[in-house]
Each structure stands twice: as C-alpha cells, then as structure tokens.
Structure 1
Amino acid sequence: MDTKEVLMKLSNSFGVSSYESYTFDLIENIIKENFKDIELRKSGTGNLIAKYGNTGKKIGFFAHVDEIGVVISKIVDDCFARVEMIGGVDPRVLISKRIYFVKNGKEKIGVIGMLAPHLQNAKNKSKSPSFDELFIDFSISGGTKDIDVGDMGYIKMESKELQNGVITGKSLDNRVGVTVLLKALDYLKDFKFDGELHLAFNKGEEVGLVGAKGTAYDIFPESAIIVDVTFSEDLPANVETMLLGKGPAIARGSAINDEVFDLLIKICKDENIKHQVEVLPMRTGTETDVVQMTKTGVKTGLVSVPIYNMHSPVECVDLSDIDASSKLLALFAMKEGKKR
C-alpha cells in the first residue's frame, strides 16, 4: 500500500462532519483492494469498523474521518447565500476562495469574494470579517435556484507533494489518522497476529466526538489507541512544540493510561522509532476523551501526527511521521494482542 497515494486520495475526498459517506466508501474500497480476511461492517450510526483477527486480546484503533466545512444557513436572493461553520472554521480562511457544495453526488461552486485592495479604505483593510458578514456568491454558477438551506460545502484544494516527502492539502485532520490505521494494517498482515483488532473509522469528531462514542461502546476493546493530528507551530514558551519529521507525538496526561503510554515508549526505544512526548494535562480534545470513559473504562493511549496549518486547506504533513506512527501501532497490536 502506497502511503502517499492513499493519503492524497483521502485528502481530496469530500467528508464534512456527518456527511462522510464519500470518504467512507473510499476507505472501504482501499481495504477491499489491499487486504484479505478483513471483516467490514457499518455501525448503527454509520461509522465504518474493520475487524482483523479473532483470537487473543481485543484492541481498538480509532481515527475520525470527518473534516470541517460550511453549511448554507439562509438563501438571501437569486445570487447570494449565507453560511455557518461546521467544526472549527476560521472565517478568514474562507475569504477569496471557491467553495464547493456537494448535493446528490454533484458539485455546485460559489465564491466568497474580497474587495480589491485599491478600493479599500483604512478601516476595511484592518477588519477581519465574521460569519455574519460573509456571503457565498453563486452568480458565477447559475445562481441559488439549485441550492437549499442545509447543503454542505468545503474549500476544494487538491493535495500536492512538496519537497522531502511533505504533503499539503485539506482535511489532513484527520485523513492522516485514517492513513496511519490503514498502513498499520498493511504492516501487520505480514506477521502472525494473535489478537483481535478493530479499526474504527468514525464520523463527527469535529462536532462533538459523536462517532467515537458509539464505536467505543460497540467494540468495547480492552485497550485502545486513538490516532489524530497535533499542532506543529510555535506554541507558548511553556509548551513543547511537536516537529515535522521527528516521529509521532505520544501523549501523556490525565486521560492517558500509563500502561499504554509506557508500552508505546518502550516500543519506540526498542525499535529505534523516532518519537516525541506531548503533554496534555487535562482534556486531549480528541476521541481519547470519550473512549477512555466507555462502560467500565478502556485503557487508552493517544498517538498524534504533527501537521502545519491545522483547520486550513493548506495543512502539511511529513510522510515519514505517518510511516513511523503506523509501525508503532502495528508493533503495539502484536505485543498487546498476546496479553491474555
């Protein structure tokens, strides 16, 4: 399985929170094309679960599929519509962009325009608009006659490979995590695996961790690893910055099980896998927060891949960090699966 090819396909797909069906179909096709002896099923709420192996300890790997986006909140007239955010969208990211709305498998293009700098006064130049001041202009694509309130949209940005194995694109949060799970399975298929591994591809993380709540109850693993992305930017001086190309960020904090953390670190040291430690003293802001509280509790760890420019259409990730994270998960499954 080619990591770059899979990641770029996933990044380019449309999967705004709770409308992830296009991306789920893509994941399902990738699994069917590359793996045998995998049991695939959809949960009651639409999450995709892949099961590998049926003996030994039950392990869960979790990654959310959804991306941030916008929704039509009001049709203003024949040309313009208003939008609201789905997930953590900065309105400044939307300015001067083409917004694609997906409906019945077809795309409709609108634009969010920007007054030319020649025509702006000093007050306008220093102003940052809110969602209350943004309009989608459909005059360039036939107007609003075939757009309805509730239609979902996203900034369409084709993924590209930059230098030194860095990929840029939209929705790397969290198509990176999805790729890590698939690549871990690719590594694992070459070994004798004694456990029962469930890969949970979840919906709705960006709007309240809704998918992971269901799959965690459904699977109820004895131990779990959540895979997400984390910030690789200049952070406050009292916080360690996670860096691209330095391996996965292994979380430590109140939501993290010490046994899982210790095993992840031991594997990295024993196998010479580059890694970083990310301190998350309270909530993690990831699916970890709900998985670890499922039923009587699940021993849970968090492995995050550093990216630049989170929640923008130009997120960046280093492919080497994805591969390192995948190897770590595969080795964790091998060791943890035997513990019964």
Structure 2
Amino acid sequence: MTYYWRAIPSIDPARPVAALPLAGGWAWFDRVERLSRGGPAQIVPLSDVPEDVLSRMSAPRAPLGALSLDEPRTMGILNTTPDSFSDGGHHIELEAAVARARQMVTEGAEIIDIGGESTRPGAAFVTPEEEIARTAPVIEALQGVGTVISLDTRKSAAARAGMAAGAHILNDVSGLRYDPEVADVAAAIGAPLILMHSIATPDTMQAMAASAYSDVLLDVYDGLQDAIEMAVSAGVARDRIIVDPGIGFGKTQPQNLALIQRVSLFHSLGCAILLGVSRKGFIGTIAAQPLADQRGPGSAGIGLWALGQGVQILRVHDIEMHTQMIALWRAVHRGQ
C-alpha cells in the first residue's frame, strides 16, 4: 500500500523537545497523519515515518535570491491582461503596470508576479508573441526596483523572453503539462521554477472538475510529484522548485477546501509551497461577496490558516492588507 505522510503543524509556543521544524521554518510537528487511498487516515508518531520522508518534511527550503524562506513571503499579482477576473484591463498599459508594481513594493510585496495571459475559467488563448509584448517591457522597466520578479507563463517562448528581460523566477500554471520546455528554460539559467497543479486548459478546466479526481488531495499530490520529476529530469535542481496546489484551477469548492485544509501534505514533497487563493470565486461564495476586489479580508483569512500550516509564499492582490496581517501574526507568534 502506498502511504502519504502529512505533518500536523503547530505554531504553539509550547514546543516539545522532540518536535521537528517544518520545512526549516516557523512551524513544528511531532505527529504525522498517514493517508492512503481507500483506507482510514491514522495519526502516527514520528518514529513510524520513514527517515527520508522526515528529512523532506523538515529540511530548510532554499532561498529565492536574497529572500530566505524561513519567514512568510508575499507575492504581488500584476496582470497585464484585458480579461483577468478581478483586475483585467487595469494594468495593460506599461506606465500603469510599472506604477502598480512600484506601489506594491512600497506596500510590502517581496515578489512581483507578472502575467500576460489570463488563466481564469473560460479565458481565451493568448499567443506567445502577444504575451511577450505585454510582459517583457514591464519586466525591463522594473529592473532595480528592489524586488524579485516572477513571470507567470506556461509557454517556453514567453519564458525565454521574460528571463532575457530580467525576470528571476518562472511560474508555470500548467505544471509543465502545456509546454515541458519551460523546465529547460529554468534549468539553463538555474532559475527557481513554480509548478502549479491544474487540469485541462483555462477554457475547459471547470467543466471537468467534478469528475477529474478520485481523491483530490492525493491526486494533486501525485500530479505535483510527477511535475517535479519532469523538471528534475530536465535539469532543474529540486531545491529550486516551488509547488502550488492550484486552488480554483479545475477544482470545485469542496475540493478547494479539502486542499487548503490539509495543505501541509505538500511539505513532504521537499519543496517550498506557494498558495494562491486571492479574491477567488469560492471566497466570494462563502463570504457572500460578489465583487472580486472586495474579497481581500476573506483572502487574508485563508492566508492566516496557510501560515499556520507552514506555507512560505502567499500570492495576493491586496498587498497592504496582507503585509499588515503578517506583521501582526509574526508579532504574536514571536511574542514581541
């Protein structure tokens, strides 16, 4: 039987002596939930967990340039698109995009994620040429702004152009399913690579969600593990890979909640975790808020849960709100 091992995180100040650090960060664990397909979950002591699994769970994650991942980090979303679900058209002009990026840095964003193709449910395909025209000039204009630049793309041509323009990280929402050569681009220059789980394509993914999974948590884990193996085989160092469970990408509301509830499972992949829930539709449904740009508090609420699960990177629209949330969370956690 194949077992999956989920660290049960805690950030309580009363930490047992035998507890291990979770991913070298602020959370710790002294028990593990053992999961399997078709069998009941069991809570087991650390002594029952294979040593290699414990090592992957507890080892520190490699920094992103000057950003260590032993502290939570914020990634600001900058969509240079006409049709993104909450801010489409706001930053399609170069001047507006650069101004917003600089504002996000002032508000506390440590990473700026620039995307030139909407991946909202039902979004239309954008050619690599158009995507490059939307993103490369913004990346060039932001050199020296004092933050890490990430390029959100699933296309190797756009990835090459973005890295040439000065991006530091590649963020592939298809998890290498659309264009495996994205991994070759990252490997060639040693860039960190974010691999997100998704199914199908943006225009069809939600129609497939209800029937796509036998166990969404374990299926997403397996999908990310396969993507990691593809990237490593292309020459990307495993410690340069960040995983994202892909909340809202081909998942129903119950599936989204199941993934968020046990997001700490993905620490056992041995990679840093990014969580992107900002302003998404299920938040609007639960919070009874139809306006996407009014879902910041709900997004921050899930962000608090994620920090308690040891998630290292929060991808968000509302930077100032999340910066304040993290500052207060950190003060309480440290007691100073």
TM over 0.5: no
Instruction: Give the TM interval when normalised to the shorter protein.
Output: under 0.3
Q: Normalising by structure 2, what TM-score?
A: 0.28
Higher helix share: 2
Higher strand share: 1
